[in-house]
Structure 1
């Protein structure tokens, strides 16, 4: 793909009710929580705009206009940024937008609670997703824990290693739609590895439990059932696996950003 060919969907909504992290920092919206002096949403948007492959950024949230305040006010003035109102779930929101005039293929998906994201991570994710209909960014436990041994993550354990998500996904074309439909069905279980895999059949679940299949093998077999090529993209950046869900993540992110500065 040529530079600027990709649409980025920046997910900035949150689950119904009070978000604990937002409440801890006196915000209504998690995306507006400040990390190292700047709202997470603003940081991630700047990263996407600075990534050569990204042409447009669509901010998806329940009430996106409420996010354009304070140090996020500038987002309303950028022609390359638009907004979309999310529906009842992440997958259904993406499915409703994907392939429309607002969000043309190919699409990169990321989240506003990823303030450590860099253009290098974005470009590595896109490069690694070549020839896949759907690609999932992941970071290995070896990479992440070597840099941040105290960090707590949800690990998916397979043959030849354990992995955590990087909150980065790519969708290449309409061939990704079956995966979006499947994602919608399993969205509630997305952090429960066994339940997630069980949706693709008991044999695959047994192989995952016994760790006789790699992550790439499991995603490949799940993709076959969906009629799509689904692949993981292992990223070499430890920070790609750290999103900000709790105060300890927030403290770590501030330390990392201070060192970058």
Structure 2
């Protein structure tokens, strides 16, 4: 387990694409989806409360939208300007905040401190960087009918939970790799292709586990990378589109 006795920071990604109108924000009638209100709180406020409840000693928001920056200031959160893309923003956040660093997104509407606590507790020893994922059966048991994008490997079909742990400064070496994996998340064969013909064959024949793939990818970047499986299926439910927002509204008390 990573030693968190000295505290850890959190970075909430709340960037936006220049010149692009987010259909979800338009659907909700707000200038940015981080400002969608659920049960009297903006999504940004809900996420910040969850990471604070899990023990974050410093919380920063990667944002460029003036309204999101104003909300971050209202919540007494540090603002870090966005970079050209998510990976660049994470790199900037790691440089500013240091490790250990939890990275999540402002649209993680249902995020709970217990999910983060379990993620940190389950980190394999010696991990530099880790990502949280949930199996398809766990997700569908928690949210029947939800539609997610899945990575299919020998140990099941998995969906990301928008939670990443940068445990050591060496994690900086994995940020570029993380960006490539995120870009190819709907095309896992492209991810595995980077591992070479041996592991590609294992993937094509259904014998490669997701954890083995991520571990080998990490070692190619010079870090120890790991996948942590969560027992909380709702951890994979973020708010990317109107249907997600409608689902989340039915799940809130």
- Give yes or no for TM over 0.5: yes
Q: What's the counterpart of residue 67 of structure 1?
A: 68
Q: Take 1:118 and 1:4, find their aligned partners in 2: how far apart are those partners? A: 22
Q: Compared with structure 1, are the counterparts of its residues 215 and 247 closer, same or farther at alpha carbon in structure 2 (3 Å cutoff)?
A: same
Q: Which runs of 5+ in 1 are unaligned?
A: none
Q: What's the counterpart of residue 211 of structure 1?
A: 206
Q: Take 1:223 and 1:20, find their aligned partners in 2: how far apart are those partners? A: 35
Give the conservation status (yes or no) of the 8 Å contact 1:31–1:112: yes
Q: What's the counterpart of residue 14 of structure 2?
A: 12
Q: Compared with structure 1, are the counterparts of its residues 206 and 35 closer, same or farther at alpha carbon in structure 2 (3 Å cutoff)?
A: farther
Cα drift, residue 172 of structure 1: 1.2
> What is the aligned counterpart of 2:103 among 94, 109, 112?
109
The answer to whether 1:238 aligns with 2:233 is: yes
Q: Which runs of 5+ in 2 are unaligned?
A: none
The answer to whether 1:122 aligns with 2:123 is: no
RMSD: 1.9
> 1:214-229 maps to which residues of 2 (within 5 A)?
214-229=209-224
Q: Compared with structure 1, are the counterparts of its residues 47 and 151 closer, same or farther at alpha carbon in structure 2 (3 Å cutoff)?
A: same
Give the conservation status (yes or no) of the 8 Å contact 2:129–2:165: yes
Question: Residue by residue, what CA displacement relative to the aligned partner does 1:159-217 show, whole Å, maximum 9, x if unpaired?
Answer: 02111001000011122122112234454323332223323434433432332111111
> 1:84-163 maps to which residues of 2 (within 5 A)?
84-98=80-94, 100=95, 102-131=96-125, 132-163=127-158
- Secondary structure in 2 aligned to 1:150? coil
The answer to whether 1:29 aligns with 2:32 is: yes
Provide TM-score, normalisation by structure 2. Answer: 0.90
- Secondary structure in 1 aligned to 2:97? coil
Give the conservation status (yes or no) of the 8 Å contact 1:91–1:187: no
Provide TM-score, normalisation by structure 1. Answer: 0.88
The answer to whether 1:76 aligns with 2:50 is: no
Moved more, 36-45 or 193-202: 193-202
Number of equivalences: 249
Give the conservation status (yes or no) of the 8 Å contact 2:103–2:164: yes
